[in-house]
């Protein structure tokens, strides 16, 4: 990298005054993201559930079609963007070589970084839209076996159920004969046998579900996000509807609170008597390169007064700006400084 080269998108180079050009970067801004996990269980009653115990000996038949929702957990994550209310500029008149690296968001990544150095990505990455539910598991489809002729000709539901039960027992009997080798035309090899047995299993399951019904469970993630403040954020969840609104009388509240801990300026300790400044000495000159000392926040998530999650996070916008001393950028060798994109703080300085 040539001295004075600027690794910055042209969208961040702004003419701030006549004949003045500057590099502009922004302090980071932290968004809280809550990743909720819940399960959706669908129970579908079979059309012949009333005959399940008598005809096929099943005592676990689903008798009522319904959907239930269960909130199973929550994770506290963060997302980082540029805080447009906290810009910083570095001009040529600052007498500091302008070898800053700024990412596409306008956040300061580093100073005097080697060209072949991969940009270090900080923070947690959250995929997807915050208002979009994502199903993490899909149920496999089952091939439905055709009804035997006896079922189509049956005059009553009980007669139909009897015919289907006989078909189930026939499939089980066929499987037993295949496994024991008591059939004249068995599959030629192990692969063919496996496929035949799988087909028999699928047909039996499809027919058995006409008695016992079906239960399927999906795990879904839902993300919500907000800028941290002292306000309590509330959502509602019910076993009958999942995420819903406050008008649902069956819903229970999900409360998210953030205990803010802003960064405070620490007054430097007094210097020893033998190191006190002599008369006429001035304070060290400060550069235009500023890093951020972030504050913290304790995020607590509760559902129906039970704690789901708690985590202490860094909150960049609760921080304070600290300029680096100009003397750091003097001498024959410039420092290499790596900044944390998520907080704006310094990760390392080497020279």
244 has which bridge partners?
Answer: 236
Each residue of 229-241: pLDDT tens digit? 999 999 999 999 9
pLDDT digits (tens, 9 = 90+) for 34-78: 999 999 999 999 999 999 899 998 888 998 899 999 999 999 999
Structural domain boundaries, residue 55: 44-67+138-217
pTM: 0.73
Q: Is 73 a domain residue?
A: no
Measured distance CA(306)–CA(74) in Å, rounded: 12
Average pLDDT over residues 188-206: 88
Q: With respect to residue 229, please indicate whether it lies within any of the assigned structural domains.
A: no
Residue 1 belongs to a domain: no
DSSP code per residue over 36-99: EEEEEEEEE--TTGGGHHHHH--S----S-EEEEEEEEEEEEEEEEEEEEEEEEEEGGG-S---
Residues 124 and 145 in one domain: no
Neighbours of 335 (CB within 10 A): 14
* 169 and 142 co-located in one domain: yes
Q: Is residue 247 part of a domain?
A: no
Question: Does residue 63 sit in the same domain as residue 195?
Answer: yes
Do both 346 and 264 map to the same domain?
yes
Residues 144 and 128 in one domain: no
Co-location of 150 and 193 in the same domain: yes
Q: Clarify whether residues 108 and 125 are in a common domain.
A: yes
**Mean pLDDT to the nearest integer, 260-279:** 70
Q: What is the total count of domains within the chain?
A: 2
Q: Six-digit token pair at 149? A: 């002729």
pLDDT single digits (tens) 158-187: 988 888 898 899 899 888 888 887 766 677
Which of 217, 242, 269 is the last residue in one of the domains?
217
313 and 345 within one domain: yes
At 162, is the secondary structure helix, strand, or coil? helix
Looking at the fold, whether 59 and 100 belong to one and the same domain comes out as no
Side-chain half-sphere of 228: how many Cα atoms within 13 Å?
30
Do residue 325 and residue 182 come from a single domain?
Answer: no
Residue at 119 is within a domain? yes
Of the chain, the end-to-end C-alpha distance in Å amounts to: 16
Place of tokens 């035997």: 148
Domain boundary among 217, 238, 272: 217
Together in a domain, 126 and 268: yes
Given a cut of 70, whether residue 125 has pLDDT beyond it is: no
What's the pLDDT band for 122 if we cut at 50, 70, 90? very low
If you compute the radius of gyration of the chain from its CA atoms, what whole number of angstroms results? 34
Q: Which of 73-87, 168-182, 285-299 has the lowest mean pLDDT?
A: 168-182
Residue with tokens 């985590």: 311
Does residue 243 sit within a domain? no
Indicate whether 224 belongs to any domain: no
Residue 39 lies in a domain: no
Q: Are residues 150 and 128 in the same domain?
A: no
């Amino acid at each position: 990298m040539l001295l004075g080269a600027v690794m910055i998108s042209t969208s961040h180079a702004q003419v701030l005054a006549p004949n003045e050009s500057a590099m502009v970067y922004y302090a980071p801004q932290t968004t809280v993201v809550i990743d909720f996990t819940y399960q959706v269980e669908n129970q579908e009653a079979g059309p012949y559930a009333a005959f399940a115990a008598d005809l096929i000996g099943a005592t676990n038949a689903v008798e009522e079609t319904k959907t239930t929702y269960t909130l199973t957990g929550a994770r506290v994550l963060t997302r980082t963007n540029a805080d447009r209310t906290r810009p910083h500029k570095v001009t040529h008149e600052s007498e500091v070589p302008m070898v800053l690296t700024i990412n596409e968001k306008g956040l300061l990544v580093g100073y005097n970084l080697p060209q072949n150095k991969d940009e270090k990505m900080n923070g947690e990455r959250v995929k997807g839209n915050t208002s979009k539910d994502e199903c993490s598991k899909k149920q496999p489809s089952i091939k439905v076996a055709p009804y035997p002729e006896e079922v189509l000709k049956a005059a009553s539901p009980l007669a139909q159920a009897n015919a289907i039960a006989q078909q189930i027992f026939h499939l089980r009997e066929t499987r037993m004969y295949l496994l024991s080798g008591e059939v004249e035309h068995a599959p030629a090899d192990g692969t063919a046998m496996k496929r035949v047995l799988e087909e028999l299993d699928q047909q039996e399951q499809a027919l058995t579900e006409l008695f016992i019904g079906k239960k399927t469970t999906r795990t879904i993630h839902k993300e919500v996000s907000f800028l941290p403040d002292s306000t309590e954020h509330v959502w509602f969840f019910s076993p009958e509807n999942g995420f819903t609104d406050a008008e649902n009388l069956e819903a229970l509240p999900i409360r998210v609170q953030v205990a803010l801990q802003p960064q405070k300026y620490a007054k430097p300790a007094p210097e020893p008597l033998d190191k006190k400044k002599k008369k006429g000495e001035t304070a060290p000159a400060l550069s235009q390169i500023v890093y951020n000392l972030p504050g913290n926040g304790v995020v607590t998530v509760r559902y129906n007064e039970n704690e789901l999650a708690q985590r202490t996070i860094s909150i960049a916008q609760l921080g304070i700006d600290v300029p680096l001393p100009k003397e750091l950028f003097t001498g024959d060798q410039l420092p290499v400084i790596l900044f944390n994109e998520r907080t704006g703080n310094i990760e390392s300085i080497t020279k």
